């Protein structure tokens, strides 16, 4: 019996599709409408296992297009969860405009829809990158935001609008800020899936600079579960950090992936020119989400080994991606490094 209808924007992307698959599996009373523009990283194959579920429906469209947003809301929804975003820092350095359009304008259009349709709950999926480089300690939700890449600045612009709609219009909004996420179905432009697929193909992996930058890794299922938990239990107007608690340097990640794919450092690793404005370290304090009852469950060693195994099994998923638009992007991004 359907009791709740949720609009999930960006539901064909990496974290969005994990959320859609998990919610249709674990919440029998929830129906989900996905609105997705099917840009390069949105992939219908990510939801193929639930696409025939009668509780699933799909509208193709951009969150910055108010007509498509209204169409996807249809007769009404109880909640909107906004995963739709341009997310890759390197692409935001090459071409920032798409980030402003989706992450800033798209968020604005959704917030106006929340007001127009009197939606009961809106959750903005954001990122720990809005806090900027963290030399020591861990960022808490009340800390100032200091985004340093065009991507992080566009996400911060989205967050600030969301929070301003709570203050100004009492919009029932929530924000989650997740740490670096990994797992199955991640588009192979990000560190972990790029390195795994390159290594499986017998290619080299490009480590930026000295590789001593630190990220905190969160399994995609833990991230999806955290978003659902905040959606169902969070306090409107509040921000919740969702961190994996697995801080590693990029070199540590690389060495672990080399081990899991039985490749050698000397034969496989190429140190290349660093990313412009590269944030050295991210770290977030998730105690607020943990006090609400969420905690990551997937041990990192298991999650990483299972992710490698997934990419090994699912060449049918990633090979077509790596031969398409990706090839031109890879050339632009790495050829001159
Ligand atoms: O912290 C959350 C954020 O994590 C998300 O908001 C972003 O959407 C997501 O892309 C991710 O941002 P990062 O820039 O940290 O992720 P990325 O996988 O691009 O890079 C991780 C680290 O690996 C970073 O220090 C840069 C480095 N790197 C990345 C690539 C793609 C390399 O050394 N070589 C590479 O080829």
Q: What is the CATH number of the domain that holds 304?
A: 3.90.25.10
Write the residue with the smallest CA distance to atom 10 of ligand 1: 88
Q: Which one, of 46, 86, 37, 88, lies nearest residue 318 by Cα? A: 46
How far apart CA 301 and CA 197 sit, in angstroms, is: 18
Regarding whether 230 and 89 lie in a shared domain, the answer is yes
> Is 158 part of a structural domain of the chain?
yes
- Spatial neighbors of 24 by CB under 8 A, at least 6 apart, are 30, 32, 50, 53, 55, 56
Helices (H), 74-149: 89-94, 97-99, 107-116
Q: Distance from the CA of 250 to the center of ligand 1, in angstroms?
A: 9
Q: Distance from the CA of 189 to the center of ligand 1, in angstroms?
A: 9
pLDDT for the residue numbered 220: 99
Query: Phi-psi bin for 74: left (phi > 0), alpha (psi -120 to 50), beta?
Result: left
Given a contact cutoff of 8 angstroms between Cβ atoms, the answer to whether 197 and 182 are in contact is no
pLDDT for the residue numbered 223: 99
How many Cα neighbours within 13 Å face the side chain of 128?
Answer: 27
How many Cα neighbours within 13 Å face the side chain of 321?
Answer: 23
Q: What are the backbone angles phi and psi of residue 16, rounded to the nearest 5°?
A: -60, -45
> Is 289 part of a structural domain of the chain?
no
Regarding whether 253 and 135 lie in a shared domain, the answer is no
CB atoms within 10 A of CB 287: 13
Regarding whether 204 and 159 lie in a shared domain, the answer is no
Domain that residue 128 falls in: 4-181+218-242
- Cα separations in angstroms, 3 against 78, 111, 306: 9, 23, 34
Whether 151 is a known active-site residue: answer yes
User: Pick the catalytic residue: 56, 122, 151, 185?
Assistant: 151
Given a contact cutoff of 8 angstroms between Cβ atoms, the answer to whether 15 and 32 are in contact is no
Write the residue with the smallest CA distance to atom 7 of ligand 1: 87
User: Which ligand 1 atom sits nearest the alpha carbon of residue 275?
Assistant: 26
259-271 pLDDT, tens digit per residue, is 999 999 999 999 9
User: Which ligand 1 atom sits nearest the alpha carbon of residue 250?
Assistant: 23
Q: Distance from the CA of 275 to the center of ligand 1, in angstroms?
A: 10
pLDDT for the residue numbered 51: 97
Tell me which H or E stretch contains 192.
helix 191-200
Helix axes of 107-116 and 150-169: crossing angle, nearest 10 degrees: 20
> Is 303 part of a structural domain of the chain?
yes
Bridge partners (DSSP) listed for residue 6: 32, 79
> Is 290 part of a structural domain of the chain?
no
User: Which ligand 1 atom sits nearest the alpha carbon of residue 211?
Assistant: 33
pLDDT for the residue numbered 336: 83
Given a contact cutoff of 8 angstroms between Cβ atoms, the answer to whether 32 and 6 are in contact is yes
Report helix, strand or coil for 123: strand
Regarding whether 36 and 66 lie in a shared domain, the answer is yes
Whether 129 is a known active-site residue: answer yes
Residues with CB under 6 A from ligand 1: 87-89, 127-129, 179-180, 190-191, 194, 206-208, 213, 215, 250, 275, 282
Regarding whether 321 and 234 lie in a shared domain, the answer is no
- Cα separations in angstroms, 294 against 6, 31, 311: 21, 23, 28
Regarding whether 14 and 136 lie in a shared domain, the answer is yes
How many Cα neighbours within 13 Å face the side chain of 48?
Answer: 6
Length of the chain: 337
Regarding whether 108 and 188 lie in a shared domain, the answer is no
How far apart CA 232 and CA 252 sit, in angstroms, is: 36
> Is 275 part of a structural domain of the chain?
yes
Task: Read off the CATH number of the domain in which 160 is found.
Answer: 3.40.50.720
- Cα separations in angstroms, 118 against 39, 133, 140, 170: 29, 37, 30, 11
Angle at 278 between CA 276 and CA 283, to 5 degrees: 165
Tell me the best of 124, 208, 249 to mutate to test the pocket of ligand 1, counting ligand atoms within 8 Å of each CB and taking the most. Answer: 208
How far apart CA 29 and CA 4 sit, in angstroms, is: 6
- Cα separations in angstroms, 19 against 94, 163, 227: 29, 23, 8
Regarding whether 104 and 22 lie in a shared domain, the answer is yes
Q: How many domains is the chain built from?
A: 2
Regarding whether 205 and 152 lie in a shared domain, the answer is no
Regarding whether 198 and 167 lie in a shared domain, the answer is no
Whether 232 is a known active-site residue: answer no
Q: Look-up: residue for tokens 């906004």?
A: 82
pLDDT for the residue numbered 37: 98
Q: Which one, of 64, 56, 75, lies nearest residue 101 by Cα? A: 64
Regarding whether 149 and 236 lie in a shared domain, the answer is yes
> Is 291 part of a structural domain of the chain?
no
Regarding whether 251 and 236 lie in a shared domain, the answer is no
pLDDT for the residue numbered 159: 98
How far apart CA 133 and CA 112 sit, in angstroms, is: 32
pLDDT for the residue numbered 337: 86
Per residue of the chain (337 residues), what is the pLDDT tens digit?
889 999 999 999 999 999 999 999 999 999 999 999 999 999 999 999 999 999 999 999 999 999 999 999 999 999 999 999 999 999 999 999 999 999 999 999 999 999 999 999 999 999 999 999 999 999 999 999 999 999 999 999 999 999 999 999 999 999 999 999 999 999 999 999 999 999 999 999 999 999 999 999 999 999 999 999 999 999 999 999 999 999 999 999 999 999 999 999 999 999 999 999 999 999 999 999 999 999 999 999 999 999 999 999 999 999 999 998 899 999 999 988 8
Q: Distance from the CA of 180 to the center of ligand 1, in angstroms?
A: 7
How far apart CA 187 and CA 200 sit, in angstroms, is: 15
């Amino acid at each position: 019996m359907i009791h709740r209808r949720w609009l999930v924007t960006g539901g064909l992307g990496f974290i969005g599709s994990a959320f859609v698959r998990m919610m249709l599996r674990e919440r029998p009373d929830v129906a989900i409408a996905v609105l997705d523009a099917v840009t390069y990283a949105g992939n219908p194959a990510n939801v193929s296992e639930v696409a025939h579920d009668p509780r699933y429906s799909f509208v193709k469209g951009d969150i910055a297009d108010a007509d498509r947003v209204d169409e996807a809301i249809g007769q009404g929804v109880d909640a909107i969860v906004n995963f739709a975003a341009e997310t890759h820092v390197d692409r935001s350095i090459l071409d920032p405009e798409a980030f402003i359009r989706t992450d800033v304008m798209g968020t604005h259009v959704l917030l106006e829809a929340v007001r127009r349709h009197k939606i009961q709950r809106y959750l903005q999926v954001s990122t720990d990158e809005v806090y900027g480089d963290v030399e020591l300690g861990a960022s808490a939700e009340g800390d100032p935001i200091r985004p340093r890449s065009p991507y992080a600045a566009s996400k911060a612009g989205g967050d600030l609008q969301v929070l301003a709609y709570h203050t100004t219009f009492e919009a029932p909004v929530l924000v989650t800020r997740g740490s670096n996420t990994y797992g199955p179905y991640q588009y192979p432009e990000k560190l972990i899936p790029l390195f795994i697929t390159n290594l499986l193909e017998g290619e080299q992996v490009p480590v930026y600079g000295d590789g001593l930058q630190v990220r905190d890794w969160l399994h995609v299922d833990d991230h999806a579960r955290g978003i659902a938990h905040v959606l169902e239990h969070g306090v409107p107007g509040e921000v919740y950090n969702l961190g994996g608690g697995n801080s590693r340097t990029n070199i540590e990640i690389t060495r672990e992936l080399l081990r899991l794919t039985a490749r050698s450092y000397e034969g496989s690793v190429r140190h290349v020119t660093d990313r412009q404005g590269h944030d050295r370290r991210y770290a977030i304090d998730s105690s607020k989400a943990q006090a609400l009852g969420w905690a990551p469950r997937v041990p990192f060693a298991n999650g990483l080994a299972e992710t490698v195994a997934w990419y090994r099994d699912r060449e049918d998923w990633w090979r077509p991606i790596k031969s398409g638009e990706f090839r031109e992007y890879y050339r632009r991004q790495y050829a001159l490094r």
